Structure 1
Amino acid sequence: MNGEWLHRGRDGRLCVYLPSGDTVLCRAELGPGGPWEAPRKAGGDQKLHRGLSVGRGADGYAHLVAWRPTVPGESGLVHSTHFRPHLAPLDWQPIGHPNKTGERTGTPAVAVDAQGRAHVFVRNGGGGISMRAQREKGGWDSWRDLKGKGVQEEPAAVTGESGRVELYAAVPGGVQHWRQEKPGAQPVMGERTEAAVRPGTLRALATSAEHTTVFFTDDSGDLCAWRPGGKPVPLLTAAGPGPVSAVRCVIDGHDCTLLAQRAASGRLALAAYPTEQEPAGAWWTESGPRLPEDTEVSLTLDEDGRVVAAALAPSTGRLLVTRRKDEPGLALQAWQEV
């Protein structure tokens, strides 16, 4: 899955999105902090390819994007909106193909601007990035070619505190950045930084009123942070493969960025540091049971501002959840299977 698949709805309840074969399931709390309902199918009976992208708007609505088979040898993107955890997500609606027709071109990414408009990004057949965005009053704008070359799988979309949408993508020898210069504008290609990026490891986070930060693992195994205008900064050795999950939270009165990743040991590893102060350093602390190799992790904040971590193993469908204890530091409650 691309993006944070653990979400807090506007009613305070948590919800997760679980790929399952050729469909997507969703599960939600029956009440904030309470038991969880049984899995249910998201978006109707449409069959999907693997590779779900999830984005959350400031309004608490979740936007889901995936590829579906259309005719033999071709695929198209579909989109669904989930307004409330206790409601079913809307049926999948087709939004087309960046090259009009053809097979799947890459894993999509989705971000939602301050007006609640989803922006869907995907690699196109030419190896660049294409985008399609919702109109504020309904419907979708046309596909737009944002240029680029040699874009790799799983770009990372993010909405800054300004409400403007940004995108990061791994390209040969570096990371390329696109950003909106004003609300509703087409994102334009900005800076590129030189870095040896492991494919599929990008995750982006809004870290201040002025900046977003992208995290990635380089070829040496270091987990790095980069903000346009500076250079990538190694934080610590990556705990394991794949992207980290990231969330901003307050720890003992300090604005911190919390990272989570499945460690090589199989357990969940957590690391926190003062937001945008990478030189302060960070270190991993492991928590919970050993998890299957395909486990993905996601972080969010509950309605009380407490960190919630979830771990999902698609091969087994097993979902584990924990919350931060109501005490100083970053101690977590016992993991619970839901």
Structure 2
Amino acid sequence: MNGDWLLRGRDGRLSVYLLSDDAVLCRAERASGGPWSAPRRIGGEQKLRASVAVGQGGDGYGHLVAWRPTVSGESGLVHSVHFRSHLAALDWAPIGHPDKKGDLTGPPALAVDAEGRVHVFVRNKGGGVSMVAQKEKGGWTPWRDLKGRDVEGELAAVTGESGRVEVYAAVPGGILYWRQQEAGAQPVLEEAMEAPVRPDTLYALATSPDATTLFYTDDSGDLCVWRPGAKPVTLLPSAGPGPVSAVRCELDGHDCTLLAQRSASGRVAFAAYPTEQESAGAWWTESGPGLPADAAVSLAVDEDDRVVAATLSPSTARLLLTRRKDEPVLALEAWREV
């Protein structure tokens, strides 16, 4: 799952999305803070292939994009929207292929702009990045080639506080960065930054009116932070091999960025620091039980402005959850299975 798979809907309820065999399943709170529903298939009976992107707009609607098999040896991308976590999502609708036809080319990523339009990004057969976006009055634009080359692993798409969409991609020895110059415009390649980046470790977060922040792991295993236009900085050693999840929240009256990652020990590690003030330093604190190697972690803020962390393992389908206590600093409730 590429993106934040733990979401708070416009009704305040939390929901999670998980890939299971050839389908995406959803579980949701029956009431805010209450019991959870059983897993339910998203988007009808269409069979899917591995790699699903999840995102959310300011309206609280959840969007999903996935690959589906078409004819023998070929695949195409499909999109579904989930208006309410306790209601059925729309059936999967085809949105095409970055090269018109062919097999899957890479994991998709998506972001939703201020007008609620979905932007889908995926590697094309040339190794660059292509995109397709919803039109303002319905339908989809033609596929556009954003250029680039030798793109590796998952892309990181994000919507800035300005409402404009941005996307990051790892390439050998560096990171590429595209950004919309204005709402509705095609993102343009603005910067290519040299960095020893590990593919599949990118995570982007909107951190101020003028900037988004990219988190990634370098070849030495350090978790690094980069805001385009500046130099990357090393924040702290990575807790584990996978990507981090991040969310902005208020801790003791301060705007902070909270990170979570499955650690090398198998537990969830948390670190927090004042947003965009990496010089303040950060350190990991582990929490919860040991998790399978395929377990992922995602963060959200509930309708009471409490941080919520969830872990999910595709091999076991176990969903574990914790919330921040109403106490100073980052005190968490006991993890519980739902």
1:192 to partner: Cα distance: 1.4
1:182-207 deviation per Cα after TM superposition (whole angstroms, max 9, x unaligned) = 00000000111111111100000000
In structure 2, what residue type is equivalent to 1:51? S
CA–CA distance in 2 between the matches of 1:89 and 1:167?
26
CA–CA distance in 2 between the matches of 1:103 and 1:217?
29
1:190-236 deviation per Cα after TM superposition (whole angstroms, max 9, x unaligned) = 11111111110000000000000010000000000000010111000
CA–CA distance in 1 between the matches of 2:103 and 2:80?
21
1:274 to partner: Cα distance: 0.5
Runs of 4+ in 1 over 6 A off after TM superposition: none
1:19-63 deviation per Cα after TM superposition (whole angstroms, max 9, x unaligned) = 000101000000111100111000100111111110110110111
Q: What residue number does 2:180 align with? A: 180
Residue 69 (structure 2) pairs with residue 69 (structure 1): yes
CA–CA distance in 2 between the matches of 1:208 and 1:305?
19
Q: What residue number does 1:194 align with? A: 194
Q: What residue number does 1:47 align with? A: 47
Question: 1:88 aligns to what SS in structure 2?
Answer: coil
1:264 to partner: Cα distance: 0.5
1:272-301 deviation per Cα after TM superposition (whole angstroms, max 9, x unaligned) = 001001111100000000000000000010
1:336 to partner: Cα distance: 1.1
Within 5 Å, give how 1:1-338 maps onto structure 2.
1-338=1-338
The alignment's TM-score, normalised by the length of structure 2, stands at 0.99
In structure 2, what residue type is equivalent to 1:54? V
Question: 2:279 aligns to what SS in structure 1?
Answer: helix
1:55-103 deviation per Cα after TM superposition (whole angstroms, max 9, x unaligned) = 1101101110110000110000000000111111110000010000000
CA–CA distance in 2 between the matches of 1:161 and 1:304?
22
CA–CA distance in 1 between the matches of 2:11 and 2:133?
26
CA–CA distance in 2 between the matches of 1:33 and 1:19?
24
1:116-170 deviation per Cα after TM superposition (whole angstroms, max 9, x unaligned) = 0000000001000000000121110110110101111100000000000000000
Question: 1:279 aligns to what SS in structure 2?
Answer: helix
Question: 1:77 aligns to what SS in structure 2?
Answer: strand
In structure 2, what residue type is equivalent to 1:239? A
Question: 1:44 aligns to what SS in structure 2?
Answer: coil
Mark the runs of 5 or more structure 2 residues left unpaired by the alignment: none
Mark the runs of 5 or more structure 1 residues left unpaired by the alignment: none
1:326 to partner: Cα distance: 0.7
Question: 2:154 aligns to what SS in structure 1?
Answer: coil
CA–CA distance in 2 between the matches of 1:198 and 1:223?
10
CA–CA distance in 2 between the matches of 1:89 and 1:302?
21
Question: 1:272 aligns to what SS in structure 2?
Answer: strand
1:4-24 deviation per Cα after TM superposition (whole angstroms, max 9, x unaligned) = 100000000000001000101
1:247 to partner: Cα distance: 0.3
CA–CA distance in 2 between the matches of 1:165 and 1:305?
25
Question: 1:24 aligns to what SS in structure 2?
Answer: strand
CA–CA distance in 2 between the matches of 1:115 and 1:319?
32
1:306 to partner: Cα distance: 0.7
Question: 1:153 aligns to what SS in structure 2?
Answer: strand
Identity %, equivalent residues: 74
The alignment's TM-score, normalised by the length of structure 1, stands at 0.99
In structure 2, what residue type is equivalent to 1:272? A
1:237 to partner: Cα distance: 0.4
CA–CA distance in 1 between the matches of 2:12 and 2:314?
25
